[in-house]
Amino acid sequence: MKKLMFVIVALFFLQGAIGQEMKVISFNIRYNSWNNIDGENGWIYRRAAVVRMVDEERPAAIGLQEALIDQLRYLDSCLPAYRRVGVGRDDGKEEGEFMAVYYDTTRLKPTACSFKWLSEHPDKVSLGWDAACRRYVTIVRFRNLSSGKVFDFMNTHLDHVGKTARAEGCKLIASLVSEDVPVILGGDMNSTIDDTIFQAFYNVGLGVARDMTSKTSRVNTYNAFGKGEGSLIDHFFVRGMRVDRFRTLDGDYGAAYISDHYPIEIVVRL
């Protein structure tokens, strides 16, 4: 009996030493176009599959890009265990695309949240440098309800046109990375990982999640609904955590494509 108790206690302390497993997803959900330019790949035909993906993967947190308010309200109604934070990029309220963050209320509690526009005026709704669209980063500080540990989750979408905007946006995001807690940064970066813009992230200690584990994936994340060659432009960067797995979620969730991007998923230990 004493030996069994020793093993149980040892396993308890070992789990604390290596951290608790936590799954996080980044996903460009593809906006719901008012004129249904996506045809058979329109939101109405893939929205149930998006919910199925979340139900099957059960992440602790999800960073969405391109989501419009009607899409978010649908997800709100279908994902009762989750709550979200985020604002519309065009008015700081509900207008335009959201860089929303969903979190499982049974596992995570937000203790702080901020939104910074990727521009010369980050504290207000603004267009930055040569960007075609307003862009921002969502920063949520979470406390893990089981372990009590704290980390920052940063979710962003870099501009698809402005090269200067992408480079300066990375510098701005890097300046917002906390020195005090572990960090996960994810999003649609509209750049392949060899782009020099990411040096700003490396300078503050962020590592490329794909390269931090042997259980990884380098499948193209932009799939163009199967109508093009695609590209690998969605990324996670991590600091202060062990990355156990990296996956590109290109499986069958009930629709041919749940977006023109595949979600990416990491399992980390904090």
Could you report the per-residue pLDDT of 118-168, keeping only the tens digit for each? 999 999 999 999 999 999 999 999 999 999 999 999 999 999 999 999 999
> pLDDT under 70 in the chain at which residues?
1-18
pLDDT for position 29: 98
pLDDT for position 262: 98
pLDDT for position 30: 98
pLDDT for position 228: 86
pLDDT for position 3: 53
Full-model pTM: 0.93
Angstrom distance (rounded) from CA 136 to CA 125: 9
Angstrom distance (rounded) from CA 212 to CA 138: 24
Could you tell me which residues come within 8 angstroms of residue 257 by beta carbon, excluding any fewer than 6 positions away? 41, 46, 223, 225, 226
pLDDT for position 18: 64
pLDDT for position 88: 98
pLDDT for position 19: 82
Query: What are the residues facing 238 on neighbouring strands?
Result: 184, 207
pLDDT for position 34: 80
pLDDT for position 13: 43
CA distance readout (Å), 175 to 87, 158, 178? 21, 16, 8
Determine the distance from the C-alpha atom of residue 71 to the mean position of all C-alpha atoms in its chain, rounded to a whole number.
17
Report DSSP state, residue 261.
B
- From first CA to last CA, the distance across the chain in angstroms is 32
Please name which of 111, 173, 103 lies closest in space to residue 136, comparing C-alpha atoms.
Answer: 173
